[in-house]
A and B are shown apart, each in its own frame.
Chain A
Amino acid sequence: MTARALFGVLQARLYAQRRVVLSTCAGALVAGLIAPASLAGPVLFCSLLGIVLALSQSPGVHPHLDRCEQSAPLFGRELARGKALVPCIAAALTVLVYMTGQLLGGAPIPPLTLLIALGSTVAGTLVALSATMRRGVLRALYVLLAAATSLVAFALVEVGRSVPGALAFCAVVAFLALRQYGETLARYDPI
């Protein structure tokens, strides 16, 4: 996949989803302003927003983009990378906006908190992307799995006291989720 195609998908999807992205960023800013300084806030709240952003990319929400991408000469894994980048960037933006809200509220932001929040949010978002290609119980299970990813990352830091462990967990889950999403897109029949 060329960088141009990747940027094309990113630009078109972000433009189509601009209202959802702006709404989640606004929500993150308000939550950041009023929430007490802790790891739970950015990790759990921003992961939730990441799941919302991922689900807003479900087939049928923007049918003309879906149809163009399905008929474009791209492999499933290439398309997966392009489509996955959109909610990941939007979710990362919500983390940064949340942290800005915390800063404006006078709370200190340790760099590790930002790193863990980014890692768990992106991993959860990538897991939630697989839910967009499924229906019914399976869809709900993937959403739960996405939420569980952030909970596990949070528990690894708070209970296990292992920041590298949490980051490694997020990296492995994100990698596997992206592969799974690519496989699903390659097999997906739009009928």
Chain B
Amino acid sequence: MRDATFATETATVGPVSLQLEPGERLTLQCATAEEAAVVALLAAGIAKASGGSVLIDDYDPRVQPVHCKRVTALVPHEPFAIDESEFARYIAYRAALWNVEPARAFAHAELIRGRLRGMHEAFAYPLIGALIGLPRLIILDRPQAVYAPQIRTAVGEIALLSTHTEPAAASAFA
């Protein structure tokens, strides 16, 4: 991401420059929650930059959005309003969207769920859903600092970008 900007209705976010190599971890301290959310969406290839350039795996999300979304996975800040009874339905849905074989997706999901023990399901399930698509880059939008050890264990060797507004939270993921 080089000098990437995003113009919202009220303000312009950026310019933001960052580079992440495979397997690296990077925490980004942002001034506001809006900036953190926008940078996360830009890095995931979901929002398109108004200025500057964003390259994900050498592809521009404005030209190759599908490839970029296959490489990345975004875990939003907002907790998911789903409980344990809907876990299987949610995994089946994610597996269908990412075209992952259902049996493999469920086995993988259970494995990650074991690593995320103690983490509230509203925060754990989106991360599990993101990881079953086998992304090469995980983007966490303002994750809960208290869950940093579990998240780092679950993510493993996958490149990790997290956006934060609190310095303490950023240092927990550093």
Interface of A is mostly: helix
Q: Which chain A residues border B97 with CB–CB below 8 Å?
A: 5, 8-9, 68-69, 72-74
What per-residue 1/0 map shows which CB atoms of A110-124 lie under 8 Å from chain B?
A: 000000000000000
- Name, among B8, B47, B48, the residue most crowded by chain A CB atoms within 10 Å (CB to CB): B47
Complex Cα gap A2–B99 (Å): 8
Total residues of chain A contacting the partner, CB 8 A: 23
**A125 CB to nearest B CB, Å:** 23
Known: A64-B81, A191-B47. A4 touches B96 (CB 8 A): yes
Known: A71-B74, A73-B70. A191 touches B6 (CB 8 A): yes
**A54 CB to nearest B CB, Å:** 21
Chain B residues 3-57 with CB under 8 Å of chain A are 6, 8, 37-38, 41, 44, 46-48
**At the interface, yes or no: A7 with Cβ under 8 Å from chain B?**
yes
Complex Cα gap A9–B94 (Å): 9
Q: Which chain A residues border B126 with CB–CB below 8 Å?
A: 64
Known: A11-B93, A191-B6, A191-B41. A73 touches B81 (CB 8 A): no
B129 touches A68 (CB 8 A): yes
**At the interface, yes or no: B113 with Cβ under 8 Å from chain A?**
no
A190 touches B47 (CB 8 A): yes
What per-residue 1/0 map shows which CB atoms of B77-90 lie under 8 Å from chain A?
A: 01011100000010
Partner of A191, one of B37, B44, B74, B89: B37
Complex Cα gap A170–B8 (Å): 37
Q: Which residue of A lies closest to B68 (CB)?
A: A73
**B82 CB to nearest A CB, Å:** 7
A71 touches B80 (CB 8 A): no
Q: Which chain B residues border A7 with CB–CB below 8 Å?
A: 96
Complex Cα gap A94–B73 (Å): 37
**B120 CB to nearest A CB, Å:** 15
**At the interface, yes or no: B146 with Cβ under 8 Å from chain A?**
no
Complex Cα gap A81–B22 (Å): 34
**A134 CB to nearest B CB, Å:** 14
Complex Cα gap A182–B43 (Å): 23
B93 touches A70 (CB 8 A): no
Known: A8-B96, A64-B82, A191-B38. A74 touches B76 (CB 8 A): no
Partner of B48, one of A5, A12, A72, A189: A189
**At the interface, yes or no: A63 with Cβ under 8 Å from chain B?**
yes
B44 touches A71 (CB 8 A): yes
**At the interface, yes or no: B128 with Cβ under 8 Å from chain A?**
no
Q: Which residue of B lies closest to A12 (CB)?
A: B93
B41 touches A8 (CB 8 A): no
Starting from the known contacts A5-B99, A12-B89, A71-B72, 9 additional A-B residue pairs (CB-CB under 8 Å) come to A15-B89, A63-B78, A68-B93, A70-B46, A72-B97, A73-B66, A74-B66, A75-B65, A190-B46
Residues of A with Cβ closer than 8 Å to B? Answer: 2, 4-5, 7-9, 11-12, 15, 63-64, 67-75, 189-191
Residues of B with Cβ closer than 8 Å to A? Answer: 6, 8, 37-38, 41, 44, 46-48, 65-67, 69-70, 72-74, 76, 78, 80-82, 89, 92-99, 126, 129
6 pairs, CB–CB < 8 Å, chain A vs chain B = A9-B96, A12-B89, A15-B89, A71-B46, A74-B69, A191-B38
